[in-house]
Amino acid sequence: MKICLEDKIFKIISEVAFKENVETFVVGGWVRDLFLNRNNNDKDIDILVVGNGIDFARKVAADIDKEIKVTVFKNFGTAMFKAYDYEMEFVGARKESYSKDSRKPAVETGSLEDDLNRRDFTINTLSISLNKNNYGELIDPLNGLKDLENMIIRTPLEPDKTFSDDPLRMMRAIRFSSQLNFDIDFQIFESIKRNAERIAIVSPERIVAEINKILMCVQPSKGFVLLEKAGLLKLILPAVYNLKGIETMEGKAHKDNFYHSLRVLDNISKKTDNLWLRWAALLHDIAKPVTKKYSPQIGWSFHGHEFIGAKMIPDIFRSLRLPMNDKMKYVQKLITLHLRPIALTQEIVTDSAVRRLLFEAGNDIDDLIALCEADITSKNEVTKQERLDNFKIVRQKLKEIEEKDALRNFQPPINGNEIIETFGIKSGEIIGIIKNAIREAILDGIIPNEREAAKKMMFEKAKELGISN
């Protein structure tokens, strides 16, 4: 099969390969996605060189423009540069061997066949020749094209060796299955289950990179169900795995919070590409297993799971090497507040309650409401629609209060420095008491969110405390 490669960069590589008497091929994800019509915006291209990939990259770059900077990774035998809006990565063909306790292989020079055999899945072994004698010819010795057509994921070599050598490939199989909506071959999946414990030798950074890619799929629940069935979820995300299961007391059962959380995740994924909002959806009920309680009067309850769940987030983020910064705090905030908007669906709700939610959620209020709407997973369509309609009312209440009181990202009109300067007092507990009194008065609607009203309140509270200017 001949593939039409008209891009100028491929022509240049072909010319340099001819001059240097080196065989070169486009290989990997770009070729796979070409056949799946997925690479319209993909500018990352892998070039396989039967020879020294670094030297060849330098020669191609120099042929394009001597000013091009080539980035070299000697340990991996690869080189990269950008040209014609593409990011090109060149690697020499190689074969690999692994030790039992590491996923870092011993590498030696190999042939095209060696290099294709060492790759993770047959769908990633497709290559296109850039050589003069067969330019554009598809090279497919492992039937990757057939597996693409059949929407199946298989390994080039015996799967137990593939996954034992590099256990991250187990997660990649599940990630590709989720991204592409492909099935994993039965024998391949059985091998993943047999080798699941080998994931222990993979770094948290590499694991979370795959989890993030699964989270960003159109229907991320598919990936998490596969991780659970493969025995990987309990090893990499035990807190999520622990959500699984239903308990029954006196004929009353609670829902399976694992599958509920996945439905919430799928719901939010229809609305946003915000990775951290998707994390919040996955983890919003994370504390339900530890707060679960049954009483004959009320049945099952999970009192305080939002607060305990928020406290669990730093340990989860730390274990996965996720960022311990504003991203983590954002997820914590949404989990802490995810039950609060429900109270606002009642017909009678005070403006104060709306103000306080706006104050606490700040600029994340829209994401919080989106999460609450995604949390409606009732199979009863009438009930589901009623609850969604209720949240339309909540959105309207929030809009009205926001327009009136400007409380999003609320900062009191009077700050601590002004209190200190006005009354000539040192920083201390009194400053906090006055600031808190002003804030509470604004949130309770006692005074408007305006400077003059806040200043008047400042003097009144100071007088009450026996302070004069």
Say if residue 34 is in the same domain as residue 129.
yes
Say if residue 60 is in the same domain as residue 136.
yes
For residue 277, being part of any structural domain is answered with no
Say if residue 132 is in the same domain as residue 172.
no
Q: What is the residue type of 225?
A: V
Say if residue 138 is in the same domain as residue 30.
yes
For residue 352, being part of any structural domain is answered with no
Q: Tell me, what's the pLDDT at 378?
A: 83
Angstrom distances, CA of residue 70 to CA of 22, 23, 109 = 19, 20, 22
For residue 142, being part of any structural domain is answered with yes
For residue 447, being part of any structural domain is answered with yes
Distance CA 150, CA 152 (A): 5
For residue 49, being part of any structural domain is answered with yes
Q: Examine the fold and report which residue of 124, 149, 174 is the final residue of a domain before the chain moves on.
A: 149
User: Which contacts qualify for 85-88: CB closer than 8 Å, 24 or more apart?
Assistant: 85/43, 86/7, 86/9, 86/43, 86/44, 86/45, 87/43, 87/44, 87/45, 88/9, 88/45, 88/47, 88/57, 88/60
Q: Tell me, what's the pLDDT at 347?
A: 64
Q: Tell me, what's the pLDDT at 125?
A: 95
Query: Which residues are 50's β-sheet partners?
Result: 23
Q: Tell me, what's the pLDDT at 432?
A: 86
For residue 256, being part of any structural domain is answered with no
Say if residue 122 is in the same domain as residue 24.
yes
**SS3 of residue 199 by DSSP:** helix
Say if residue 61 is in the same domain as residue 136.
yes
Closest CA to 334 of 302, 360, 359: 360
Q: 116, 46 in Cβ contact below 8 A?
A: no
Say if residue 232 is in the same domain as residue 108.
no
Tell me the CATH number at 162: 1.10.110.30
Q: Tell me, what's the pLDDT at 457?
A: 87
Q: Examine the fold and report which residue of 116, 149, 182 is the final residue of a domain before the chain moves on.
A: 149
How long, in residues, is the chain?
469
Query: Could you tell me the two tokens for 433?
Result: 């008491």
Say if residue 93 is in the same domain as residue 129.
yes
Supply the pTM of this predicted model: 0.86
For residue 206, being part of any structural domain is answered with yes
Say if residue 185 is in the same domain as residue 89.
no
Say if residue 138 is in the same domain as residue 184.
no
Other C-beta atoms closer than 10 Å to the C-beta of 462 total 20
Distance CA 111, CA 106 (A): 16
Across the chain, which has 469 residues, the per-10-residue mean pLDDT values are 82 94 94 85 86 94 92 88 91 74 66 90 96 94 96 95 92 97 97 96 96 97 98 97 92 91 97 97 97 92 95 97 96 96 75 83 92 90 84 82 68 83 81 86 84 87 80
Angstrom distances, CA of residue 194 to CA of 14, 57, 120, 291 = 44, 40, 17, 33
Q: Examine the fold and report which residue of 236, 267, 291 is the final residue of a domain before the chain moves on.
A: 236
Say if residue 220 is in the same domain as residue 98.
no
Say if residue 79 is in the same domain as residue 18.
yes
Q: Tell me, what's the pLDDT at 448?
A: 84
Instruction: List the alpha helices (DSSP H) in 292-405.
Output: 305-320, 326-337, 340-343, 351-361, 365-374, 381-405
Q: Which residues form the domain of 427?
A: 416-464
Torsions phi, psi of 329, nearest 5?
-65, -35
Q: Tell me, what's the pLDDT at 444?
A: 82
Q: Which residues contact 24 (CB under 8 A, 6 or more apart)?
A: 13, 14, 17, 47, 48, 49, 50, 56, 129, 130, 131
Q: Tell me, what's the pLDDT at 435?
A: 86
Report the Cα 8 to chain-centroid distance in Å: 35
For residue 400, being part of any structural domain is answered with no
Tell me the CATH number at 140: 3.30.460.10
User: Domain count of the chain?
Assistant: 3
